[in-house]
Amino acid sequence: MEHDPKWIEKTHLEEQAPAEYYMECCAFLDDFLNQRPRLAGVEVRTMLSDLLSILVKDPKDRQFAEIASLEKLVHQFRVDSPRTTDPAEVAVAGLLLFGMVGKALYFLSKQPHSHQFEEEIKRLLQDLNQVRGNSWLFHSAGKLAESGFTIEFIPESASKTPDYMATRGSIRLFVEANARSQPHRSVEGLQDILWNVMHGDSSAGKQLKFSEVQYDPGLIVVDVSNCDVNANSTMLEPNLKLRNDAFVINNRKGQVYDLSRDPEFFAQRENTGNLIEFAIRYFHDMATTNRYHVRALLVGISLGIRTDAAGAILSAPKGSVMFVDSRYSQLALQELSRAIYMVDTQSPLP
């Protein structure tokens, strides 16, 4: 199945026609790996080939039960329908995963890259169990490359370093990506994840990657798609209460909200006990120690899929929320998130 670059360039189709768009991205990934066979493991290549062999058939002739190799994927995604091993749902999960990776590599491969780029691809595609976690790294890098950033993956060394540097004009930032696989469904679990990403656990705290001033400004991106991000301790509907005059930007791309213009933000119960409050407080707490150079935090909250009863894709949202130190307003990149909160890290939080 040959890919059509013209289709992949039409990124609006990712929302309007996700099934067709991701099929093109999967075809690109297949072509990409055919030219670089040593980059992907046998299990991953088999899975991708099995998926494409079904997708190229006429819809009425597709037998999703034939894609036995894809079953391991269904448990790597948060889906809106119940978690099952339904063959159609498995195929949708595979289409989304490989489509995301294919899209990212399409835009990244248009740039010159160092040896580290291939090393990261190997890490992504050699081991099936690592595909979902490492796909978040390529998803974020691909989004930046798509919007005109030059991506340079940073070689690993004895000292802790972020994953890559992104540059566009006068804007330069350093990015460390991480995906959390624990499927928490409680507020407490969400708190633990955000705390661990920022401050420690087996990941040793991602802020440590930005100890050296040469990696300033830093952005941590973390995927928490396996969690119920709508969970909160107030038992209220997951809708924030915001002030119209606190929006710095409110356009078709999304919204940038300045928390300093809303001193009563945390006085509203709707704005507490949820991911937004936790992330703001952890981000602010880290910034006030003034030991690291993390200036922004991006939390991926929906890399999952929606399907109907027949297993057809309804949408494949990739939502996120971004928190930016108000001293670094240039990092409020709407290309990365439709919802951005500017945090005054120099003043105490209520």
User: Residue 278: inside a domain, yes or no?
Assistant: yes
Q: Is 49 helix (H, G, I), strand (E, B) or coil?
A: helix
Give 251's strand partners.
Answer: 254
pLDDT for the residue 103: 94
Residue 223's H or E segment, with its range, is strand 218-223
Q: What is the pLDDT along the chain (350 residues), one digit of tens a residue?
A: 677 888 899 998 888 888 889 899 999 999 999 999 899 888 888 888 888 887 777 766 666 665 655 666 555 554 444 445 566 667 777 788 888 899 999 999 999 888 899 999 998 888 777 776 688 889 899 999 999 999 999 988 767 899 999 999 999 999 998 876 566 667 777 777 777 777 765 556 788 889 899 999 999 998 877 666 666 766 656 688 999 999 999 999 899 999 999 999 999 998 998 889 989 998 998 887 767 899 999 988 765 544 444 444 444 445 789 999 999 999 999 999 999 999 999 999 98
Residue 239 inside a domain? The answer is yes
* Domain final residue pick, 118, 140, 162: 140
In a domain, 152, yes or no: no
Q: Is residue 324 part of a domain?
A: yes
Q: In the prediction, which pLDDT does 78 show? A: 43
Quote the distance between the C-alpha of residue 22 and its chain's center. Answer: 16
| Residue 344: both structure tokens together | 């005054």
161 found inside a domain: no
Same domain, 117 and 240: no
CA angle 304, 307, 311 (to 5 degrees): 125
Q: Are residue 188 and residue 316 in the same domain, yes or no?
A: yes
71 and 133 fall within a common domain = yes
Domain co-membership, 123 together with 191: no
Phi first, then psi: what are they for 324, rounded to 5°? -130, 130
Pair of tokens at residue 30? 């297949």
Cβ-contact 342, 260 below 8 angstroms: yes
Q: Are 114 and 27 in contact (CB under 8 A)?
A: no
128 and 4, same domain (yes or no): yes
Return all residues near 146 (Cβ < 8 A) that are at least 6 apart: 11, 107, 335
Q: Pairing mode, if any, of strands 294-302 and 218-223?
A: parallel
- The pLDDT of residue 71: 61
* 321 and 202 within one domain: yes
pLDDT at 229: 65
User: 178 and 70 in one domain?
Assistant: no
Residues 117 and 248 in one domain: no
**Please, are residues 162 and 176 in contact by the beta-carbon 8 Å criterion?**
yes
Residue 134 sits in the same domain as residue 6: yes
**DSSP class of 297:** E
Same domain, 213 and 125: no
* Structural domain count of the chain: 2
Residue 64: the pLDDT is 62
Strand pairing class (319-325; 150-153): unpaired
Q: Which domain holds residue 188?
A: 170-350
Domain shared by 106 and 177, yes or no: no
**Which has the closest alpha carbon to 194: 57, 301, 340?**
301
C-alpha 275/C-alpha 184 separation (Å) is 13
Same domain, 317 and 181: yes
Domain-embedded: residue 272: yes
Q: Which residue has the tokens 């602010």?
A: 284
336 lies in some domain: yes
What is the pTM for the complete model shown? 0.86
Helix, strand or coil, per DSSP, at residue 201: coil
- Gap between the Cα atoms of 221 and 206, Å rounded: 10
Q: What is the pLDDT of residue 180?
A: 65
Residue 303 Cα distances to 53, 99, 104, angstroms: 24, 12, 14
Q: Is residue 238 one of the residues assigned to a domain?
A: yes
Query: In this structure, which long-range contacts are made by residues 42-48, counting pairs with CB atoms below 8 Å and at least 24 apart in sequence?
Result: 43/69, 43/128, 44/125, 44/126, 44/127, 44/128, 44/131, 47/73, 47/94, 47/98, 47/128, 48/94, 48/98
Enter the tokens of residue 279: 């992330």
Looking at residue 195, its pLDDT comes to: 78
In the numeric block, which tokens belong to residue 77?
């995604």
Burial of residue 97 (number of CB atoms within 10 Å: 0-12, 13-18, 19+): buried
